[in-house]
Amino acid sequence: MARNNAINLSMNSFASFDDALDMCELLARETGKKYTVMADNQLGFTAKKVGSNQDVSNSENKEARLKNNDFRQAWRGFIPNYVQILIGILIFLRPYKVVSLVFSLLEIENIPTGFDLKSFGEVLGISGILLILYGLRFIYSYFAAKLYIDDDGLILKKGIIAQTQVQIRFSDIKTIGVHQGILDRLLGIGTLRLDSAGTTGKSGKYGTVDIEFKNMIDPVSIRRSIQRMIDDYIRDHG
């Protein structure tokens, strides 16, 4: 579309509809994204990227919800612990049934000579109690680990009575990684890993993970949100 008057690229709004339309076409060619004409209260019309305001607004709202909020591990991430507890209860309540099942799997038809079934059953019952207690450790793990995001960075808090804290500022974060096993992907959880630019391990090599938070819900989305927070922080404080 040939026009006699040149478009001022430094302006965000245009007095005529045709100027705004020309700008939409120019931006579409240069960026490959769709733009549309939008009415402007002061100058008439302006060019607007299709869906841009809504996408930015959704991202900002999500990041605002993440900030100044505590994150704990998802309960569904402790399924192995639940299985341990169920097996421990079964062994404790039915030790002789478990022995019979083991004999059947091993195809042992007769009890071996000198085998004290009663004593073995008592020992197996105690083992069931220990297995239950071992499985219940997930309760401590849930309340002892907490991830906190503030305006400057991330803080990992560990412990209930004695507590340790690890903090990384947005400007110091070097990498953000997500690890998900097969079960994690099915459950929609994963492990979030962050390391800082100045981190070194005991061997003096870079790459030690500063923060590792397990059983986080939707870790891929959280990683993207944190990356946007980093970009915003660097832009505002650069």
Residue 67 corresponds to which tokens in the numbers above? 């900030």
In the chain, domain spans: 13-50, 79-139, 142-237
Minimum mean pLDDT among 43-57, 95-109, 128-142, 212-226: which range?
43-57
CA 226 to chain centre: 10
Minimum mean pLDDT among 145-154, 159-168, 177-186, 193-202: which range?
193-202
Write out pLDDT tens, residues 175-194: 999 999 999 999 999 999 99
Q: Helix, strand or coil for residue 68?
A: coil
What radius of gyration do the chain's Cα atoms show?
A: 30
Q: How far apart are CA 163 and CA 157, in angstroms?
A: 7
Q: Helix, strand or coil for residue 72?
A: coil
Q: Which helix (H) or strand (E) holds 49?
A: strand 44-49
Question: Between the CA of residue 87 and those of 80, 81, 134, what are the distances in Å?
Answer: 11, 10, 11
Average pLDDT over residues 115-127: 84
Q: How far apart are CA 57 and CA 117, in angstroms?
A: 68
In the predicted model, is pLDDT for residue 199 greater than 80? Answer: no
Residue 20: pLDDT band (50, 70, 90) is: confident
In the predicted model, is pLDDT for residue 47 greater than 90? Answer: no
8 A C-beta contact, residue 213 and residue 186: no
How high is the pLDDT of residue 7?
A: 47
8 A C-beta contact, residue 16 and residue 37: no
Q: How far apart are CA 76 and CA 187, in angstroms?
A: 7
Residue 209 corresponds to which tokens in the numbers above? 């993970």
Residue 109 corresponds to which tokens in the numbers above? 């038809």
Backbone angles phi, psi at 136, to 5 degrees: -75, -5
In the predicted model, is pLDDT for residue 41 greater than 70? Answer: no
Class of domain 142-237: mainly beta
More confident site: 146 or 117: 146
Write out pLDDT tens, residues 68-116: 778 999 999 999 999 999 999 999 998 888 888 877 887 777 777 777 7
Minimum mean pLDDT among 117-126, 162-171, 176-185, 213-222: which range?
117-126
